[in-house]
Amino acid sequence: MRCLAPSLLRSFRGLVPQYVSAGPGRNPVLSLKQLPLRHSCSASPGLMTAPDVISYWQKVFEENGIPEARESSEYIVSFVLGAKTFQSLDSGKVHTPLTAAQQEQIQQLSCKRLERMPVQYVLGEWDFQDLTLKMRPPVFIPRPETEDLISLVVEEESRKCEGKKNSAFSVPPPVILEIGCGSGAIALSLLCKIPQSRVLAVDKEDAAVDLTKENVHRLQLQDRIHVLHHNVSYGSAQQLLPWGPMDFIVSNPPYVFHEDMASLDAEILRYEDLDALDGGDDGMRVIKTILTLAPSLLKDSGSVFLEVDPRHPDMVEDWLCAHPDLLLTLRAIHKDFCGKPRFLHIQKQSR
Amino acid sequence: MNAPSLWGSALLLREGRAAAWRPWAWGALQLALSRGPVVQAAGKSSSLRLVQLSEAELREQFVRGDGPGGQATNKTSNCVVLKHVPSGIVVKCHQTRSVEKNRKIAREILQEKVDLFYKGEESDVFKEKKASEKKKQEKKRRAKENLERKKHFKEMLQSEEIK
């Protein structure tokens, strides 16, 4: 697990503007309406509604160079009021003055955001498709693109089922291996969307294994998933075979090009496990490991689904051509919702 | 439904973010959302007979920024803006913290609005709304009646006591 070295972190902190202490003259707009940050909990609690508080914190975030000032403020206030987003907030609650306790909680959460903590860690939870999952630094936060990865696997599984419907054999429930499970987003979504599937989820970090297990228990899915502390780069396929052979290997492996790591946002660099992101010089290190491992773990015609950087599809195709012994074919490249090539479907040729 | 002004107001919704808005791009055709080119919205609208929308007529926009996306970005703005090109109707959805769910809900809402736009009072959406309004009024009327009855009864009792 890697986080920024203390020396690097210190220089980062030096770059972050200090909190706004809106005294008189510092920021006339703020001081007119609100009390300084440290006194906000003693402001008359009866006067501020959700929109007031959202606007207040949005301004504070903007003053302090916090990205997504409006969104961050909305998520925090909505969370304290029991809603996921501002748009989904009960219309009654929108106009009800906030209690002092609620304002206090909002302030505590906003202080964390002022330290560039990602909103998902501030709230300690985030949603992935239909699931609400616990989030905790430094375990990697699921990205919205990855939601589409689930749909691809589900589609392929139903296509396989359709194909086998008329055969004499009953279709056994699929066995799925997820490499690098993080918070468990992919594994748990697949379990929910593919009834009776079984998942083996592995991660090289204890923190990720623990968090995935917590999310498994929150969703009461422990009878269908096994979470294992395992490093695919240094372990061997043998250790995973008892759970196989697998129908699917699914992964959102670290795929950022090493040279791009330094330009990532502070939210990522300061709080997320950099090993979950850094894919080495060409971003392919873990991708190659997974593809090398796949043939010994997959059933014939089994599939690998990977999320990758938009530059990777061609690189992976070339690499597979250079390693014909793996008997893997690039079946399809799928785009994400922003139109970028993002997902690879690779299949093990049947002998 | 006024197409041009709706579209205009959607652009102004986030002041100062015009630069972050990307030109209209094709939304990735979601196999999970639609089998074939027709959008079949799930949820309550599936019980109503609504105008079918095809993905080809839709333009989707996400505030995801111009960066590489994926792992390299951790943005939380997963609001979806969906436009039905033929009618010009635009829907903005930020009901959930999941982009995929917002896309689904945006399509459901858009389908209802487009149906209303083309069918007016003949639309099942319109009829259902009217029916539920009627029900509400009926409930109110009955509640008022009950209240009056109770009041009258109380007055009767009081006048008997005086006797």
Residue range A120-171, pLDDT digits in tens: 999 999 999 999 999 999 999 999 999 999 999 999 999 988 877 666 667 7
A130-140 per-position pLDDT tens digit: 999 999 999 99
Per-residue pLDDT, averaged over A25-53, amounts to 52
Per-residue pLDDT, averaged over B139-154, amounts to 94
Least confident span in B3-7, B37-41, B117-121? B3-7
More confident residue, A13 or A261: A261
In this prediction, residue A163 carries a pLDDT of 79
Q: B58-62 and B89-93: which strand pairing?
A: unpaired
Considering the entire predicted model, what is its pTM? Answer: 0.80
The DSSP bridge partners found for residue B38 are B54
Going by C-alpha positions, the residue among B146, B64, B134, B138 that lies closest to residue B103 is B64
Per-residue pLDDT, averaged over A253-266, amounts to 97
In this prediction, residue A350 carries a pLDDT of 85
B63 Cβ contact partners less than 8 Å away, ≥ 6 residues apart: B14, B17, B20, B21, B75, B77, B79
- Answer whether residue B142 shows pLDDT above 70: yes
B82 close to B93: Cβ distance less than 8 angstroms: yes
What angle separates helix A50-63 from helix A69-80, to the nearest 10 degrees? 140
In this prediction, residue A170 carries a pLDDT of 72
- Answer whether residue A65 shows pLDDT above 80: yes
The percentage of chain A sitting over the pLDDT mark of 90, rounded to a whole number, equals: 78
Distance from CA of B115 to the nearest CA of A (A): 23
- Answer whether residue A104 shows pLDDT above 70: yes
- pLDDT, chain A, mean: 89
In this prediction, residue A249 carries a pLDDT of 98
- Answer whether residue A31 shows pLDDT above 60: no
Tell me if B32 and A70 make a contact (CB, 8 A cut-off).
Answer: no
Confidence grade of residue B5 (pLDDT, cut at 50, 70, 90): very low
| Alpha carbons B15 and A54: distance in angstroms, whole number | 16
Per-residue pLDDT, averaged over A304-314, amounts to 97
Say what the ipTM of the complex is. 0.82
A28 contact B CB<8A? no
In this prediction, residue A167 carries a pLDDT of 66
In this prediction, residue B61 carries a pLDDT of 87
Of B14, B93, B101, the CB nearest to A129: B101
A75 contact B CB<8A? yes
More confident residue, B120 or A308: A308
The DSSP bridge partners found for residue B91 are B82
B13-65 per-position pLDDT tens digit: 332 333 333 333 333 333 333 333 455 444 555 577 888 899 999 999 886 66
- Answer whether residue A116 shows pLDDT above 80: yes
Confidence grade of residue B66 (pLDDT, cut at 50, 70, 90): low
> Chain B contacts of A77, Cβ < 8 Å?
none
In this prediction, residue A287 carries a pLDDT of 98
A305 Cβ contact partners less than 8 Å away, ≥ 6 residues apart: A149, A152, A153, A156, A248, A249, A250, A251, A343, A344, A345, A346
Going by C-alpha positions, the residue among A249, A72, A252, A70 that lies closest to residue A145 is A252
In this prediction, residue B8 carries a pLDDT of 30
Given the structure tokens 């917002």, which residue do they identify? B102
Residues of B near A (Cβ–Cβ under 8 Å) read 14, 25-28, 30-32, 60, 62, 64, 68-78, 93-101, 103
A207 close to A140: Cβ distance less than 8 angstroms: no
Least confident span in A104-113, A209-218, A230-239? A230-239
- Answer whether residue A212 shows pLDDT above 70: yes
